[in-house]
Amino acid sequence: MDLEVDTSFSMYTDAGDAVAQKVVELSKTAGLNWPQTLKLMALIADEQMSNKYGELMDTAVREVIYSRCNFTTSFYA
């Protein structure tokens, strides 16, 4: 039986999921903490930059990114 790996971040599009994956990769590579990662996500989601990825700040998406970054600090930092 094949196990499927869930690559979804609850974004509306595959492109949005790809952006969320890049946030995880950057956060891990740069050693960002959760507050720093949140700031990065907010910058990307900011409507003045792009209204394509506004859902990046949705709770479901934030929870997946937090989990995949293996953060252990408070989610509500």
Q: What is the pLDDT of residues 6-36, one digit of tens each?
A: 668 777 788 888 999 999 999 999 999 999 9
Give exposure, 16-42, as e/b (b: 16+ Cβ within 10 Å): bbebbbebbeebeeeebebeebbebbe
pTM of the model: 0.84
Residue 17 lies in a domain: no
Q: Which domain holds residue 52?
A: 31-70
- What pLDDT does 6 receive? 64
Please, what is the average pLDDT of the chain?
Answer: 87
* 53 falls within a domain: yes
> What does the angle CA 55 – CA 76 – CA 16 come to, to the nearest 5 degrees?
20
Quick check: is 45 in a domain?
Answer: yes
| Whole-number pLDDT of residue 54 | 85
